[in-house]
Structure 1
């Protein structure tokens, strides 16, 4: 019974450790954006060490049982050989007795094999645990340059200066991209799929390093500052909101570890999430399921917005959702986004007409180049690429 309980506990810990590892890898972008690498490594390390302890404990139990079995077996063999020896001396040992002796020896040898297997499994567990820790401790490709300094608290003045970028060092994705977003301004990125919108968004928190040009925040070259201090001032809301298999409270608190219940409740209200949360049986302690499957798309988006609000970033990167929502959910999400964007420099991959129209600057991208740049009215007056793109989106909306 004790061994069965130990094995059950071991499997539970293994399942939890596997889930944490899978979530960390699949949600890598959010983990990095919220500078939670050390937190996730520590979380997994704790579970892995618990798992290791359970494996060792089980091995000791099995080893002890096998050792006892071996001792009993050897005692039996000794007694049996004594009888066999006497039988040989007396001339009473038959072929049948000899055959039985061989069979007993094979039976008694089984505990030795079992003990050997347990030892091998134990060594495999040791090797697997060691390999996991090596993988988790590996340095990331993008790292601080020697002498990098912490980025002081910024106002949010962002500049791209003739930025070239390639993912593989061969095929160029961005070509001489330049634009400026003053503190508190909204810059909308528009253009067809593959134009470079997401790439620009990924370069701001230094998920990748550029090949040529410069990106600055309040005049600080972001390649020369500590990555953690840079990302701590950036908030990200993805097109498909990423939630962890945890409670609503824990998902919101991911934006600021150690946040008080009052802080969490306040940002939930600001994100229009408090109303639906309070209707749930467990309220903020409700488990959202893997990737938040127990919540609707609109509810997941509002949780992600609350998480970003809790971080209180100076720079906001927003990839607007294209998922269709009912009118009420759409209104609640849009209202929450407007609160989130208020007084923050926002780079938005825009899909909604209202967002595009109200942006301070619109960048029209095509094949990694900024082909048009200006306000909504300025670009419409040109009657070029933006005019056609905007008209196309407007026609799609009217046809719905």
Structure 2
């Protein structure tokens, strides 16, 4: 799977001026520096950042055990994006001009990705988007940016199909006030109108830094919808879920709760939501019942051995981000930007989740892995691990409504 070529790299990186050309390289005997930006402090999703860090470190260690990149060790240079675009932009600038990284990856929040890729484009540095879902990232059309993760169009189309198959009449969606949240909510409404035009759909934007969503929750008690959809990340998502449950809105005998943010496989999920998570329907990018390539099995085993718990989707997405960069550099025989970018554009690589290729179609498809695998599962018991949660929609298939457990049953 890894084919390492031991080739010399030429002269040492001389500083920021060389970084401007996108062709700076570290000394032959030095490590290959890869920049990694993720949230290590609020208001960013620290729980996501922790998982991204773990996945990157596992991939780094696996690569280094097998020769690294071009015979040189892989070094991750990490920065805290804090979930704030200005922090992500500054982090990317520092990584390129001061630390001399040859590529950047790790970001998991769309607004930060949108800020960071402007820097990557300006310096012509390869950028692998680990978990930014916003279609706007792809629509920029930047040749430096590659997207092996999920995207809003895919999740919104998938969720619209599930809601149509559930035969419901009304859907209320709560979305965080970010590029990711608003973008996904708008697309969900668009595709739901196409697939089930009789469903009454509306969405409301919530401040992701708020701790009180009661003004949005309480009106639903008098007029409960058939489904409440969540498109917020933690901690706001956990607060919303608890307030919906405490007020008897969802999940309840009248109202399903459907999560489109991938919450249920977070390590701290059950600690934060308790009974509010029982019967939750989950759009899932990872479930142990999904078919996985050998590399995915190795990463899963490494994570479980290291941390003593089940991996989640971000472990695999982060690992794939670094594996792709390593594979492209080894195939190109250099860490120089243009050959690496050209190699990524034409790559066919079997990572942890499947065989990854990148589309050259403009719009949301640009340099996107289009066939990101997904499933839908339901948490039928409080505290249930994802491995025991039944699949109600297998990969590549339609929802089976007969498998759903009604809230209150």
Give TM class, smaller chain: under 0.3
Q: Return the TM-score normalized by structure 1.
A: 0.25
Larger CA Rg, structure 1 vs 2: 1
TM-score between both structures, scaled by the size of structure 2 = 0.24
* Structure ranking higher in helix proportion: 1
